[in-house]
Amino acid sequence: MSEGSRGGSLAFGQVVIGPPGSGKTTYCHAMHTFLRQLGRSVAVVNLDPANEALPCPCALDIAELVTLPDVMDSLGLGPNGGLIYCMEYLEANADWLRDRLQALRGHYILFDCPGQVELYTHHSALKNVFAQLAKWNFRLAAVHLVDSHYCTDPGKFISVLCTSLSTMLHVELPHVNILSKMDLIEQYGKLAFNLDYYTEVLDLSYLVDHLASDPFFRNFRRLNEKLVEVIEDYSLVSFVPLNVQDKQSMRQVMQAVDKANGYSFGDQEHRSLEALMSAAVGADFHFSSTLAVQEKYVQSQDKAVEEEVMDL
């Protein structure tokens, strides 16, 4: 009997990845709550051996198998080397993960993953774990979170695009890129372009021209042009804006992920979603389109300019 047939019926879920501080655990908690309100059976699986402050109970925790502090103490490794060892240990003990996941069959699984970027760009351990999950009949989509404050710095945004593209090519899963913490975007600074320029990753030559106004980046214009060409040639990277406090934003992300992993919800869940959205009032941001975010952002910038003029 093959590994896939032993896994039983299809199971669906998300592997939540991204750099440290991008909001992965917060996202898992918010999505867990949102999906439960729709009547979906949801379970959170923590695959981050360094995650000790979990905001909600996990159905399965890698700490039962290995923890980062134990690895660092016993092997004399730093946090980065320790995380890589933990993921290699998880890969070597895939039977442990499979046996624990058997108890969660019938649930929609949210896998909260570590924040070390190397694990998703060129190291193979976590990628192999995801491949094993596919053999066990899990249909997964990678949800890659990126902090929205990178949009305010053109150089950092190009770096984020390169990292996102590298992650998409390496992980080899249906992919949804998320700009997280959109409710805080006003605090990060002024955007050089409209928000849809960043979410849709439009003509990046404008971003290179904007970078050229900086004396430091002017010396690297040719390099930036080549990086931008690589991103545009693949034409894979785009982003969905997310504010976890806004149900409309959560719905858009949920629908994008459900489309990516092939999950199809029934009539009862659809009715629950309509009832939930009809009661979703009073949110600070409304994401029926990115234009709504941009309009509020522009208004706040205009108000700040008016206040500066009044002070003069």
pLDDT of 312 higher than 70: no
pLDDT of 4 higher than 80: no
Contact criterion met (CB below 8 Å) for 59 and 41: no
Question: CATH classification of 11-201+237-311 is 3.40.50.150, yes or no?
Answer: no
Domain ranges of the chain: 11-201+237-311
Residue 265: predicted pLDDT:
73
Tens-digit pLDDT profile for residues 111-127:
999 999 999 999 999 99
Q: How big is the chain by its Cα radius of gyration, in Å?
A: 21
| CA–CA separation, 180 and 200 (whole Å) | 15
Contact criterion met (CB below 8 Å) for 27 and 242: yes
% of the chain beyond a pLDDT of 70: 86
pLDDT of 289 higher than 50: no
pTM of the model: 0.84
